[in-house]
Amino acid sequence: MKRSAFFISDGTGITAETLGQSLLAQFENITFNKFTRPYIDSIDKARAMVAHINSAAERDGVRPIIFDTIVNRDIRDILATSNGFMIDIFSTFLAPLEQELGDHSSYSVGKSHSIARNAAYMERIEAVNFALDNDDGARTHYYDKADLILVGVSRCGKTPTCLYMAMQFGIRAANYPLTEDDMERLQLPGALQAHRQKLFGLTIDADRLTAIRHERKPNSRYSSFAQCEFEVREVENLFRRENIPNINSTHFSVEEISTRILAQMGVERRFK
């Protein structure tokens, strides 16, 4: 079965898309054609959106699913004329919250992702800059300022995990690759010795690592299964010898990897 799904907002659309995607992921037997439409903030845009939704309904032969975080009532009323099944995320949750808190919501556009939340925004930017400046062991003299240091073989997911934790949680994460040059007599590098309490290891299945490396350097020693298997085995032995907590990243998304790391290490998010 195929259905169209729309994530519509008069702001960035991030809230509508995030919650909508999470809900739709529970329906594994249905294929969704997904459309994110941010900044639907005028009557004309709303009418054009209705035409798009109705076209999808006619094409699919079934009404589309609509997740919206539209604040403006006039725009919502126009969208409600479409041939779609609407889920108003704000009213679903804000009404009971207003009753419980004894206060009225501001119903303002863009509150969650506005630069006006200056402290959290600056934490995010500083954490991203830290992750970039301390990527792949390029620098090690700022490790005293790191919340976490990820260790593992090349291409096991360290960099995207560091950047995700920086963007989402304001975590200052560095990463240090253990390369082929380290493998002959693999020991914990001196640059990491003083920061053992911050270390977390990432490992990966050798066949998956082979596929990832092959995309970067096909038909090379670097991407061969034998080399990948050797490096993974040696690094996992190091983790055991040095008692470094670690997880296998093969079957986890970057979101799952990041959340598991923070939970296991007891690191608090800088903003939530």
Contact 1, 31 (CB under 8 A): yes
Annotated ligand binding at 260? The verdict is no
Q: Which residues of 191-202 are buried (b: 16+ CB within 10 A; e: fewer)?
A: ebeebeebbbbb
Q: Which two tokens stand for residue 241?
A: 């010898």
Residue 12, burial from CB neighbour count under 10 angstroms (0-12, 13-18, 19+)? middle
Annotated ligand binding at 84? The verdict is no
Q: What are phi and psi of 91, to 5 degrees?
A: -70, -30
Annotated ligand binding at 159? The verdict is yes
Whole-angstrom distance, CA of residue 53 vs CA of residue 225: 48
Annotated ligand binding at 201? The verdict is no
Annotated ligand binding at 270? The verdict is no
Q: Which two tokens stand for residue 59?
A: 């094409």
Q: What are phi and psi of 98, to 5 degrees?
A: -60, -45
Look at residues 7, 2, 18 and name the one whose alpha carbon lies nearest to residue 52. 7
- For tokens 């006006």, the residue is 116
Q: Terminal CA-to-CA distance of the chain, rounded, Å?
A: 36
Annotated ligand binding at 156? The verdict is yes
Whole-angstrom distance, CA of residue 143 vs CA of residue 186: 21
Whole-angstrom distance, CA of residue 64 vs CA of residue 105: 29
Annotated ligand binding at 228? The verdict is no
Annotated ligand binding at 20? The verdict is no
Whole-angstrom distance, CA of residue 52 vs CA of residue 5: 11
Q: Which residues are annotated as a binding site for ADP?
A: 152-159
Q: Which residues are annotated as a binding site?
A: 152-159
